[in-house]
Structure 1
Amino acid sequence: MRQTQTSRTQQMDSDTVHPRFGYVGTRDDTPPVEPDHTVSLEIRPRENAPIPAFYFEPAGLAVDVGDTVRFNLATPHHNVNAYHPAFGYTQRVPDGAPPYSSPILGAGEYWLYTFETEGVHNLMCAPHELFGMVGSVVVGSPTGPGANPVGEAPAPHEESRPPEFTAGLVLSDPALAPQTIAEQGSVSWSDLAPESKRPLLRPVEEG
């Protein structure tokens, strides 16, 4: 029992970047490590569309093994979640990567995560995934299950779900090809084709 209690204390230690839970901070605090890269979680209105664009900026990012990324919430009610089979998704993270995720966060907060597993990491904001709020972090080399086209990554269970609706379109855009991200260093949301961002869901009509 003592070892279990110690393990839980280490997991939730607020002064470390945990391999599963990362580190949650606010704009006024001092992070435990200096981030190497920054990604913003954004919402932007669409012209002539009732549903806004939900996106990561940049949508694609290349980092080195051991780099820490700071995910800033420019707008509220987002999280950062791996396409990991432990969460019921087809595997779009490297073998050996833990099932990592942030909590749902508010505007002005941030989440740190240190990428220790080489390969392609596809990420989502779980509340807004189907609207296309997904991204890709290439850690070291553009390899692993996440380098496969959408729909061709390993599915450990029949019920495992691949990226769907606009999420699938975004991750299939040529601009987010892992090799392209690795070569360019980063890929902006604006680099994706408009047809890859089109909303495939509609709001419920009021009766």
Structure 2
Amino acid sequence: MFGGTVVARGSPSEPRGDRGETGDPSPPTIHSHFGYSGTSDDEIPNRLEPDETVELHVDEDKIDDSKLPALTVEFGAFHFAPAGLHVEPGSIVEFDFHTPEHTATAYHPGQERQRRVPDGVPAFSSTVNEHHGFWLYRFEEEGVYDLFCAPHEWGGMGMRIVVGDDPGDVVRGPGRPPLPMTAALLGTGLDGDIGHPEMEPQNIVDNGPISGHDLDIGLEVTITAPSSP
């Protein structure tokens, strides 16, 4: 497991005064940087039962590899489900890897990106997990959290989690904005651009989970191998 055994003393995500079911003085905890991950839902400890689940997917129908080495990818081929989620402060979210080679990574200066998480929240990220693996993170601070998949940000794989009922601003600092396909969902943060109107934080609070498939973002990107000299 990753993140379940390396816990900084006094970490804000470390439960206090709580022992494991067998009286273990060092029960499993969710690290504020590294979360808690494993290879199967059966490995999730009872005390870390998630409040919400986000699935990570690849939709092969949106990937055209008929002209390899050129590859054309439609928006939504790589996606979080849901793309917009509202949770209460302190909620544990399970990221369920229905397909491999993904991450759930915070937009943060520590990742050389814009700060798109509340002030004081670290540059957290999952591992690149395997098929059917999971990663848990506890969202403590109220506000807007924009996340991306590091291997697939270029293909539009991003999501927004709104914690609490008074989310505040989306972008909290300068830095490199999301790549164009993901910016269509989450916005660039430049000139007040917050992304698709359905992804406005208060809309997520008021209307609940937002599916990326319902947003009708008609974009695609083609990757072409360099030609021979």
What is the TM-score with the length of structure 1 in the denominator? 0.83
- Return the offset for 1:175: 1.4
Which has more radius of gyration? 2
- Provide the residue aligned with 1:186 in structure 2: 209
**Which segment is superposed worse, 21-30 or 54-63?**
21-30
1:83-122 superposed matches below 5 A? 83-122=107-146
- Return the offset for 1:163: 0.6
- Whether 1:21 aligns to 2:34 is yes
Partner AA of 1:199 in structure 2: E
Partner AA of 1:188 in structure 2: S
* Identity level (%): 39
- Whether 1:204 aligns to 2:197 is no
What is the TM-score with the length of structure 2 in the denominator? 0.75
Contact 2:62 2:73 in 1 (8 A): no
2:124 and 2:62 mapped to 1: Cα distance? 34
1:1-207 superposed matches below 5 A? 9-11=6-8, 15-27=28-40, 28-31=42-45, 32-47=47-62, 49=64, 50-51=72-73, 53-146=77-170, 148=171, 153-155=172-174, 160-171=175-186, 172-195=195-218, 198-204=219-225
- Return the offset for 1:185: 1.6
Runs of 4 or more above 6 Å deviation: none
Contact 2:63 2:73 in 1 (8 A): no
Contact 2:184 2:217 in 1 (8 A): no
1:203 and 1:142 mapped to 2: Cα distance? 44
1:59 and 1:204 mapped to 2: Cα distance? 30
Q: Mark the CA change 1:48 to 1:129 in structure 2 (over 3 Å): closer, same or farther.
A: closer
Q: Alpha carbon RMSD of aligned pairs, Å? A: 2.2
2:152 and 2:173 mapped to 1: Cα distance? 23
1:142 and 1:41 mapped to 2: Cα distance? 27
Q: Mark the CA change 1:98 to 1:61 in structure 2 (over 3 Å): closer, same or farther.
A: same
Partner AA of 2:73 in structure 1: I
- Provide the residue aligned with 1:3 in structure 2: none
Unaligned runs of 5+ in 2: 9-25, 65-71, 187-194
2:62 and 2:104 mapped to 1: Cα distance? 26
Q: Mark the CA change 1:91 to 1:22 in structure 2 (over 3 Å): closer, same or farther.
A: same
Q: Mark the CA change 1:202 to 1:88 in structure 2 (over 3 Å): closer, same or farther.
A: same
Q: Mark the CA change 1:103 to 1:9 in structure 2 (over 3 Å): closer, same or farther.
A: closer
Unaligned runs of 5+ in 1: 1-7
Q: Identify, as 1 or 2, the structure richer in helix.
A: 1
Partner AA of 1:98 in structure 2: P
- Return the offset for 1:194: 2.6
